[in-house]
Structure 1
Amino acid sequence: MDFFRHRLRHLIGLPALCLLAAVAGCSSADGRASVVVPRPGATTARLCRDLDQALPSKVDGLSREDPEPASTLTAAWGSNAIILRCGVERPPKMVDPKVAEGADPDAVAGGVNGVDWLMEKQDDGSYRYTTASRRAYVEVRAEKGRDASGVLVDLAPALKKAIPKGFAF
């Protein structure tokens, strides 16, 4: 009887070990963030590739560490402290300033160094910033507790260079 219990323990342990190995193999070994890559049209994708080339190597003192999967549509600094996605959809809270009805009071518009942004507080306390009045929507997320003013200042030159003013489609 003890023989069977001993074998049963090993048979149960083996699948659990395989499952653990499989899960570990799916996560990023270097701790990089994982993000959903946007799927914009060809024109927007071209603008996003231009932005990728113009992005700084450091933002708010943090080094660039791009997320998984690798894409010219995404970038990150400081592991997952700051994440940029280019070619995202227009945020639902982004309304025409002429139409104040229905505007979300928690969605604040403002500009930083010539780039207009929509700032939205997320449920977890972090913030999401989305460019406005540019030919492509670019989303920047800053982790909870991070003052994003330095982030937006550091990103402004690249955004102005790569994503012209206008309306995104």
Structure 2
Amino acid sequence: MARQLRVPRLLAELPAPVRWLALPLALTCTAVVLVGSWSAPERIETPQPTGKAAGYCQALAAALPQELLGHARKDPSPASPYVAAWASSPRTVLRCGVDRPEELNGPAAKDLSPTIDDVTWWAKKLDDGGYRFTTTMRKAYVEVTVPGGAFANPLDPVSALNPAVKANIP
């Protein structure tokens, strides 16, 4: 004896063409929502240092940890000795050999500049709640971007990376 499929009363009262289109329409809407929620891969601009700065950055890249405060290192593709990243999303990103930030020329340069073990980091609060820290008074500028809410204290990743920066960037 074959079982008959029971159609919910609401659907049974609809005209046949509407019932036939209900499932394809629901699947199409679901696909649109899913595709719309996917985000494009994060683009990280790779610095192109030259001369001695490039050598310092390559030495720093070799000294960087594979894990940063419990987050595994996941460098962006294509690989570069001037960019390192930890975690997947949101990521803490280190870029070495960046240009000197324009803001360091103004009065705001002294506002947020913590010094950790003789390395001074200029801090800039980002619109998304994160911070961008950039070394000052070094032969190559190193930038660490810490996403908002990734750490209890945004200086924690900078403090953990500080010994490698101090040892490799004079």
Taking CA–CA contacts closer than 8 Å with sequence separation of 6 or more, which of the two structures ends up with the larger relative contact order?
A: 1
Point out the structure with max Rg over C-alpha: 2
Equivalent residue for 1:34, pick from 30, 40, 43 = 43
TM-score (norm 1): 0.70
Summarize the alignment of residues 73-152 of structure 1 with structure 2, pairs less than 5 Å apart. 73-79=82-88, 80-95=90-105, 102-104=106-108, 107-145=111-149, 146=151, 147-152=153-158
TM-score (norm 2): 0.69
Q: Deviations over 1:91-112 (max 9, x none)?
A: 11113xxxxxx41289511112
Structure 2 residues without counterparts, runs of 5 or longer: 1-34
Alpha carbons 1:44, 1:135 under 8 Å: kept? yes
**Structure 2 counterpart of 1:82, which letter?**
T
- Structure 1's consecutive aligned runs of 4 or more residues displaced over 3 angstroms after TM superposition are none
Alpha carbons 2:46, 2:83 under 8 Å: kept? yes
**Structure 2 counterpart of 1:91, which letter?**
P
Alpha carbons 2:75, 2:86 under 8 Å: kept? yes
Identity rate of aligned residues, in percent?
A: 38
* Count of matched residue pairs: 130
Alpha carbons 2:109, 2:122 under 8 Å: kept? no
- Residues 106 and 44 of structure 1, relative CA distance in 2, 3 Å threshold: closer
When you count helix as a share of all residues, which structure comes out higher? 2
